[in-house]
Protein backbone atom coordinates (compact mmCIF):
# COMPACT_ATOMS: atom_id res chain seq x y z
CA UNK A 1 0.00 0.00 0.00
CA UNK A 2 1.62 3.22 -1.14
CA UNK A 3 1.02 6.44 -3.07
CA UNK A 4 1.82 5.02 -6.51
CA UNK A 5 -0.64 6.70 -8.92
CA UNK A 6 0.00 10.40 -8.38
CA UNK A 7 2.00 11.19 -11.56
CA UNK A 8 5.10 11.83 -9.53
CA UNK A 9 8.46 10.33 -10.50
CA UNK A 10 9.60 9.45 -7.00
CA UNK A 11 6.28 7.94 -5.94
CA UNK A 12 6.12 5.67 -8.97
CA UNK A 13 9.77 4.62 -8.87
CA UNK A 14 9.84 3.81 -5.16
CA UNK A 15 6.78 1.59 -5.64
CA UNK A 16 8.51 -0.19 -8.53
CA UNK A 17 11.71 -0.59 -6.52
CA UNK A 18 10.10 -2.28 -3.51
CA UNK A 19 8.03 -4.53 -5.79
CA UNK A 20 11.16 -5.50 -7.75
CA UNK A 21 13.27 -6.24 -4.68
CA UNK A 22 10.57 -8.36 -3.03
CA UNK A 23 10.08 -10.35 -6.24
CA UNK A 24 13.83 -10.91 -6.45
CA UNK A 25 13.53 -12.63 -3.06
CA UNK A 26 10.95 -15.05 -4.42
CA UNK A 27 7.73 -13.39 -3.28
CA UNK A 28 4.54 -12.76 -5.23
CA UNK A 29 3.83 -9.04 -4.98
CA UNK A 30 0.85 -6.84 -5.73
CA UNK A 31 0.64 -3.09 -5.29
CA UNK A 32 -2.82 -2.26 -3.94
CA UNK A 33 -4.39 0.04 -6.51
CA UNK A 34 -5.67 2.58 -3.98
CA UNK A 35 -6.49 5.98 -5.47
CA UNK A 36 -7.76 8.84 -3.34
CA UNK A 37 -9.68 11.72 -4.94
CA UNK A 38 -6.97 14.21 -3.95
CA UNK A 39 -4.44 12.15 -5.93
CA UNK A 40 -6.37 12.65 -9.16
CA UNK A 41 -4.45 14.57 -11.80
CA UNK A 42 -4.88 15.18 -15.51
CA UNK A 43 -8.65 14.93 -15.14
CA UNK A 44 -9.82 18.04 -16.96
CA UNK A 45 -13.31 18.17 -15.48
CA UNK A 46 -12.61 16.65 -12.06
CA UNK A 47 -12.32 19.35 -9.37
CA UNK A 48 -9.95 18.99 -6.46
CA UNK A 49 -12.25 17.62 -3.72
CA UNK A 50 -11.54 20.25 -1.08
CA UNK A 51 -11.92 23.98 -0.60
CA UNK A 52 -14.37 26.71 -1.50
CA UNK A 53 -14.32 25.98 -5.23
CA UNK A 54 -15.29 22.36 -4.61
CA UNK A 55 -18.16 23.39 -2.35
CA UNK A 56 -19.41 25.82 -4.99
CA UNK A 57 -19.29 23.14 -7.71
CA UNK A 58 -21.25 20.76 -5.48
CA UNK A 59 -23.99 23.37 -5.31
CA UNK A 60 -23.85 24.21 -9.05
CA UNK A 61 -22.42 21.11 -10.83
CA UNK A 62 -22.33 22.68 -14.30
CA UNK A 63 -19.57 25.03 -13.08
CA UNK A 64 -17.09 22.13 -13.13
CA UNK A 65 -16.98 22.43 -16.93
CA UNK A 66 -15.92 26.08 -16.61
CA UNK A 67 -13.95 26.43 -13.40
CA UNK A 68 -12.01 23.15 -13.36
CA UNK A 69 -10.37 23.45 -16.83
CA UNK A 70 -9.36 27.01 -15.93
CA UNK A 71 -7.77 25.89 -12.67
CA UNK A 72 -6.05 22.98 -14.44
CA UNK A 73 -4.76 25.11 -17.33
CA UNK A 74 -1.16 25.08 -16.07
CA UNK A 75 -0.99 21.34 -16.63
CA UNK A 76 -2.00 21.49 -20.29
CA UNK A 77 1.62 21.88 -21.47
CA UNK A 78 2.67 18.76 -19.57
CA UNK A 79 -0.37 16.63 -20.38
CA UNK A 80 1.86 14.22 -22.31
CA UNK A 81 3.22 12.97 -18.99
CA UNK A 82 -0.09 11.22 -18.36
CA UNK A 83 0.34 8.58 -21.06
CA UNK A 84 3.99 7.99 -20.12
CA UNK A 85 3.04 7.35 -16.48
CA UNK A 86 0.00 5.26 -17.41
CA UNK A 87 2.14 3.12 -19.69
CA UNK A 88 4.70 2.61 -16.92
CA UNK A 89 1.94 1.53 -14.53
CA UNK A 90 0.61 -0.88 -17.13
CA UNK A 91 3.89 -2.55 -18.05
CA UNK A 92 5.99 -2.31 -14.88
CA UNK A 93 3.73 -2.14 -11.82
CA UNK A 94 1.89 -5.27 -10.75
CA UNK A 95 -1.33 -3.70 -9.54
CA UNK A 96 -4.20 -5.43 -7.79
CA UNK A 97 -7.01 -6.48 -10.10
CA UNK A 98 -9.40 -4.22 -8.22
CA UNK A 99 -9.05 -0.44 -7.93
CA UNK A 100 -10.15 1.01 -4.58
CA UNK A 101 -11.32 4.62 -4.19
CA UNK A 102 -11.88 4.79 -0.43
CA UNK A 103 -11.53 2.87 2.81
CA UNK A 104 -15.03 1.38 2.62
CA UNK A 105 -14.35 -0.22 -0.75
CA UNK A 106 -11.17 -1.92 0.44
CA UNK A 107 -12.75 -3.01 3.72
CA UNK A 108 -15.63 -4.62 1.85
CA UNK A 109 -13.33 -6.52 -0.51
CA UNK A 110 -9.80 -6.60 0.95
CA UNK A 111 -6.83 -8.05 -0.94
CA UNK A 112 -5.93 -11.62 -0.04
CA UNK A 113 -2.35 -11.77 1.22
CA UNK A 114 -0.01 -13.27 3.79
CA UNK A 115 1.39 -9.87 4.67
CA UNK A 116 0.44 -6.24 4.11
CA UNK A 117 3.25 -3.69 3.75
CA UNK A 118 2.62 0.04 4.13
CA UNK A 119 5.11 2.34 2.47
CA UNK A 120 7.17 4.00 1.30
CA UNK A 121 6.96 7.73 0.62
CA UNK A 122 4.85 10.24 2.55
CA UNK A 123 1.95 7.92 3.32
CA UNK A 124 1.65 9.20 6.91
CA UNK A 125 1.99 12.93 6.23
CA UNK A 126 -0.83 14.34 8.35
CA UNK A 127 -0.62 17.65 6.49
CA UNK A 128 -2.00 15.72 3.48
CA UNK A 129 -5.10 13.57 3.08
CA UNK A 130 -3.21 10.28 2.93
CA UNK A 131 -1.84 10.83 6.44
CA UNK A 132 -5.39 10.92 7.74
CA UNK A 133 -6.74 8.07 5.60
CA UNK A 134 -7.21 4.67 7.26
CA UNK A 135 -6.15 2.83 4.11
CA UNK A 136 -2.53 3.88 4.49
CA UNK A 137 -2.56 2.51 8.04
CA UNK A 138 -3.69 -0.91 6.72
CA UNK A 139 -6.96 -0.65 8.64
CA UNK A 140 -8.67 -3.33 6.55
CA UNK A 141 -8.60 -7.09 6.00
CA UNK A 142 -8.26 -9.98 8.40
CA UNK A 143 -6.47 -9.28 11.68
CA UNK A 144 -4.55 -12.52 11.07
CA UNK A 145 -2.64 -10.91 8.21
CA UNK A 146 0.76 -9.65 9.32
CA UNK A 147 1.21 -5.88 8.98
CA UNK A 148 4.50 -4.02 8.68
CA UNK A 149 5.65 -0.73 7.24
CA UNK A 150 8.71 -0.29 5.06
CA UNK A 151 10.39 3.12 4.87
CA UNK A 152 7.14 4.91 5.62
CA UNK A 153 7.54 8.67 5.85
CA UNK A 154 5.66 11.25 7.88
CA UNK A 155 7.18 13.84 5.55
CA UNK A 156 7.12 16.42 8.35
CA UNK A 157 8.91 16.82 11.68
CA UNK A 158 5.81 16.49 13.87
CA UNK A 159 2.27 15.16 13.68
CA UNK A 160 -0.42 17.72 12.94
CA UNK A 161 -1.90 18.93 16.21
CA UNK A 162 -4.94 16.95 17.27
CA UNK A 163 -4.07 13.84 15.25
CA UNK A 164 -1.59 12.23 17.65
CA UNK A 165 -4.14 9.85 19.20
CA UNK A 166 -5.39 8.81 15.77
CA UNK A 167 -1.89 7.97 14.54
CA UNK A 168 -0.97 6.07 17.72
CA UNK A 169 -4.17 4.01 17.62
CA UNK A 170 -3.61 3.01 14.01
CA UNK A 171 0.11 2.25 14.28
CA UNK A 172 -0.40 -0.02 17.28
CA UNK A 173 -2.00 -2.49 14.87
CA UNK A 174 1.34 -3.02 13.11
CA UNK A 175 3.58 -5.98 13.91
CA UNK A 176 6.69 -3.96 13.00
CA UNK A 177 7.25 -0.39 11.94
CA UNK A 178 10.12 0.94 9.87
CA UNK A 179 10.49 4.53 8.72
CA UNK A 180 12.65 6.39 6.22
CA UNK A 181 13.88 9.34 8.27
CA UNK A 182 15.32 9.99 11.70
CA UNK A 183 12.58 12.57 12.17
CA UNK A 184 10.17 9.66 11.73
CA UNK A 185 11.90 7.77 14.52
CA UNK A 186 11.63 10.85 16.72
CA UNK A 187 7.89 11.04 16.02
CA UNK A 188 7.46 7.38 16.92
CA UNK A 189 9.45 7.81 20.13
CA UNK A 190 7.29 10.76 21.19
CA UNK A 191 4.22 8.64 20.53
CA UNK A 192 5.62 5.80 22.64
CA UNK A 193 6.18 3.48 19.66
CA UNK A 194 9.22 1.53 18.48
CA UNK A 195 10.56 1.78 14.95
CA UNK A 196 13.49 0.83 12.73
CA UNK A 197 15.31 3.20 10.39
CA UNK A 198 15.63 1.91 6.81
CA UNK A 199 16.41 3.37 3.40
CA UNK A 200 13.95 4.45 0.74
CA UNK A 201 13.10 1.53 -1.60
CA UNK A 202 14.95 3.10 -4.55
CA UNK A 203 18.21 2.28 -2.75
CA UNK A 204 17.33 -1.43 -2.68
CA UNK A 205 18.39 -1.51 -6.34
CA UNK A 206 21.89 -0.38 -7.28
CA UNK A 207 22.88 1.64 -10.34
CA UNK A 208 23.45 -1.40 -12.54
CA UNK A 209 20.11 -2.93 -11.56
CA UNK A 210 18.25 0.27 -12.41
CA UNK A 211 19.98 0.50 -15.78
CA UNK A 212 19.33 -3.14 -16.62
CA UNK A 213 15.74 -3.43 -15.38
CA UNK A 214 14.54 -0.32 -17.24
CA UNK A 215 16.94 -0.59 -20.20
CA UNK A 216 18.52 2.82 -19.59
CA UNK A 217 21.28 4.07 -21.88
CA UNK A 218 24.32 5.63 -20.21
CA UNK A 219 26.19 8.35 -22.07
CA UNK A 220 27.65 11.81 -21.37
CA UNK A 221 24.93 14.41 -21.83
CA UNK A 222 26.75 17.69 -21.12
CA UNK A 223 23.77 19.52 -19.63
CA UNK A 224 22.35 20.67 -16.32
CA UNK A 225 19.24 18.73 -15.32
CA UNK A 226 16.69 20.87 -13.55
CA UNK A 227 13.77 19.35 -11.65
CA UNK A 228 11.94 22.14 -9.83
CA UNK A 229 8.42 21.01 -8.97
CA UNK A 230 6.76 24.44 -9.04
CA UNK A 231 9.35 26.72 -10.73
CA UNK A 232 8.74 29.48 -8.21
CA UNK A 233 12.02 29.37 -6.31
CA UNK A 234 14.28 32.32 -7.09
CA UNK A 235 17.24 30.66 -5.37
CA UNK A 236 17.06 27.70 -7.76
CA UNK A 237 16.67 29.99 -10.76
CA UNK A 238 19.70 32.10 -9.84
CA UNK A 239 21.82 29.05 -9.04
CA UNK A 240 20.95 27.31 -12.31
CA UNK A 241 21.55 30.38 -14.47
CA UNK A 242 24.88 31.13 -12.80
CA UNK A 243 26.06 27.53 -13.20
CA UNK A 244 24.89 27.46 -16.80
CA UNK A 245 26.80 30.63 -17.65
CA UNK A 246 30.00 29.58 -15.91
CA UNK A 247 30.09 26.03 -17.29
CA UNK A 248 28.65 26.80 -20.73
CA UNK A 249 25.98 24.11 -20.34
CA UNK A 250 22.33 24.17 -21.32
CA UNK A 251 19.62 23.85 -18.69
CA UNK A 252 17.31 20.92 -19.42
CA UNK A 253 14.13 21.12 -17.36
CA UNK A 254 12.04 18.00 -16.74
CA UNK A 255 8.68 19.55 -15.97
CA UNK A 256 5.77 18.55 -13.79
CA UNK A 257 2.98 21.10 -13.42
CA UNK A 258 4.45 23.84 -15.61
CA UNK A 259 7.53 24.83 -17.58
CA UNK A 260 10.67 26.49 -16.24
CA UNK A 261 10.68 29.80 -18.15
CA UNK A 262 14.46 30.20 -18.01
CA UNK A 263 15.45 26.68 -19.15
CA UNK A 264 17.00 26.12 -22.57
CA UNK A 265 15.19 22.82 -23.14
CA UNK A 266 11.69 21.98 -21.89
CA UNK A 267 10.84 18.29 -21.32
CA UNK A 268 7.08 18.13 -20.88
CA UNK A 269 6.20 14.52 -21.59
CA UNK A 270 8.74 12.49 -19.61
CA UNK A 271 7.58 9.41 -17.77
CA UNK A 272 9.53 7.66 -14.98
CA UNK A 273 11.96 5.98 -17.38
CA UNK A 274 12.71 9.18 -19.27
CA UNK A 275 13.20 11.01 -15.96
CA UNK A 276 15.87 8.50 -14.94
CA UNK A 277 17.43 8.63 -18.40
CA UNK A 278 17.86 12.40 -18.26
CA UNK A 279 19.20 12.23 -14.71
CA UNK A 280 21.62 9.40 -15.48
CA UNK A 281 23.29 11.37 -18.28
CA UNK A 282 23.32 14.85 -16.72
CA UNK A 283 26.54 16.61 -15.78
CA UNK A 284 24.85 18.43 -12.89
CA UNK A 285 21.50 17.91 -11.15
CA UNK A 286 19.56 20.73 -9.48
CA UNK A 287 16.31 19.84 -7.76
CA UNK A 288 14.01 20.29 -4.80
CA UNK A 289 13.04 16.63 -4.87
CA UNK A 290 13.85 13.86 -2.39
CA UNK A 291 13.98 11.20 -5.08
CA UNK A 292 15.98 13.29 -7.55
CA UNK A 293 18.46 13.60 -4.68
CA UNK A 294 18.34 9.85 -4.03
CA UNK A 295 19.00 8.97 -7.67
CA UNK A 296 21.81 11.53 -7.82
CA UNK A 297 23.45 9.50 -5.05
CA UNK A 298 22.75 6.17 -6.77
CA UNK A 299 24.08 7.42 -10.13
CA UNK A 300 26.90 9.42 -8.47
CA UNK A 301 26.04 12.75 -10.07
CA UNK A 302 27.23 16.21 -9.07
CA UNK A 303 24.09 17.65 -7.48
CA UNK A 304 22.53 20.21 -5.18
CA UNK A 305 19.15 20.08 -3.47
CA UNK A 306 16.94 22.96 -2.42
CA UNK A 307 14.02 22.90 0.02
CA UNK A 308 10.58 22.79 -1.57
CA UNK A 309 9.31 26.21 -0.57
CA UNK A 310 5.81 26.55 0.86
CA UNK A 311 5.94 22.93 2.05
CA UNK A 312 7.34 21.79 5.38
CA UNK A 313 8.90 18.51 4.24
CA UNK A 314 12.58 19.31 3.76
CA UNK A 315 13.58 17.23 6.77
CA UNK A 316 13.49 14.11 4.58
CA UNK A 317 16.18 15.55 2.25
CA UNK A 318 18.17 16.85 5.19
CA UNK A 319 18.10 13.47 6.97
CA UNK A 320 19.24 11.63 3.84
CA UNK A 321 22.10 14.00 3.05
CA UNK A 322 23.33 14.14 6.63
CA UNK A 323 23.32 10.35 6.72
CA UNK A 324 25.81 10.22 3.81
CA UNK A 325 27.79 13.22 5.11
CA UNK A 326 26.67 15.54 2.32
CA UNK A 327 24.59 17.99 4.32
CA UNK A 328 26.37 20.87 2.55
CA UNK A 329 24.60 19.91 -0.67
CA UNK A 330 21.28 21.09 0.75
CA UNK A 331 20.36 24.71 0.05
CA UNK A 332 23.83 25.86 -1.12
CA UNK A 333 24.59 29.57 -1.19
CA UNK A 334 26.50 29.59 -4.49
CA UNK A 335 27.97 27.34 -7.16
CA UNK A 336 31.31 27.13 -5.35
CA UNK A 337 29.82 24.05 -3.69
CA UNK A 338 30.94 22.13 -6.78
CA UNK A 339 34.58 22.83 -5.94
CA UNK A 340 34.12 20.60 -2.89
CA UNK A 341 34.93 17.01 -3.78
CA UNK A 342 32.41 14.24 -3.06
CA UNK A 343 34.10 11.12 -1.73
CA UNK A 344 31.91 8.66 -3.60
CA UNK A 345 33.71 5.68 -2.07
CA UNK A 346 32.73 6.93 1.38
CA UNK A 347 29.14 7.60 0.25
CA UNK A 348 28.92 4.12 -1.28
CA UNK A 349 30.20 2.47 1.90
CA UNK A 350 27.67 4.32 4.06
CA UNK A 351 24.80 3.48 1.71
CA UNK A 352 25.89 -0.15 1.38
CA UNK A 353 25.79 -0.57 5.14
CA UNK A 354 22.32 0.89 5.63
CA UNK A 355 20.96 -0.87 2.53
CA UNK A 356 22.16 -4.20 3.92
CA UNK A 357 20.47 -3.51 7.26
CA UNK A 358 17.28 -2.48 5.44
CA UNK A 359 17.24 -5.71 3.44
CA UNK A 360 17.84 -7.67 6.64
CA UNK A 361 14.79 -5.99 8.20
CA UNK A 362 12.60 -6.89 5.22
CA UNK A 363 13.85 -10.45 4.91
CA UNK A 364 13.44 -11.07 8.63
CA UNK A 365 9.81 -9.94 8.52
CA UNK A 366 9.03 -11.91 5.36
CA UNK A 367 10.71 -15.15 6.40
For domain 211-345, give the fold.
Rossmann fold (3.40.50)
8 A C-beta contact, residue 309 and residue 233? yes
Per-residue pLDDT at 313: 60
Give the integer Cα–Cα distance in Å for 6 and 253. 20
pLDDT tens readout for residues 21-79: 999 999 999 999 999 877 777 877 777 666 788 788 888 888 888 888 877 777 788 88
pLDDT tens readout for residues 276-321: 999 999 999 999 999 999 999 999 999 999 998 766 667 889 989 9
Specify the range with the lowest mean pLDDT, choosing from 114-123, 192-201, 275-284, 310-319: 310-319
Residue 230: CB atoms within 10 A of its CB come to 16
pLDDT tens readout for residues 3-35: 999 999 999 999 999 999 999 999 999 999 999
Strand partners, 148: 117, 176
Report the mean per-residue pLDDT for the chain: 93
More confident residue, 331 or 314: 331
Task: Work out the average pLDDT over 321-329.
Answer: 96
Give the integer Cα–Cα distance in Å for 313 and 84. 27
Closest CA to 118 of 199, 217, 7, 3: 3
Strand partners, 227: 287
Give the integer Cα–Cα distance in Å for 277 and 184. 31
Give the integer Cα–Cα distance in Å for 225 and 260. 12
Cβ within 8 Å of residue 345, ≥6 positions away? none
Per-residue pLDDT at 131: 92
What CATH number matches the domain at 9-41+77-205+355-366, 3.50.30, 3.30.70, 1.10.3470, 3.40.50?
3.40.50
Same CATH topology for 9-41+77-205+355-366 and 211-345?
Answer: yes
8 A C-beta contact, residue 179 and residue 153? yes
Per-residue pLDDT at 43: 76
8 A C-beta contact, residue 152 and residue 188? no
Give the integer Cα–Cα distance in Å for 305 and 326. 11
Where exactly are the structural domains of the chain?
Answer: 9-41+77-205+355-366, 211-345
Per-residue pLDDT at 76: 83
Task: Work out the average pLDDT over 160-183.
Answer: 96
Amino acid sequence: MTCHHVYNYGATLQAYALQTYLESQGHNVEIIDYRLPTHMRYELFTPYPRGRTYELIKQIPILKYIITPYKNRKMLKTWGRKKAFDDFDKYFLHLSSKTYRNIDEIRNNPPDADIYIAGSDQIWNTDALNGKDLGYYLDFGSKRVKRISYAASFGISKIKEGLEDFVVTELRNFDRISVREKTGLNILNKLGLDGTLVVDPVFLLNKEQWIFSLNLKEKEGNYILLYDFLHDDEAIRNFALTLSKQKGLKIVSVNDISEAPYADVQINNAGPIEFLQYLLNATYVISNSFHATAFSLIFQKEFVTFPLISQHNSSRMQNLLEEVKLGNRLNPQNINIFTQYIDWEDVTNILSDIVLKSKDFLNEQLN
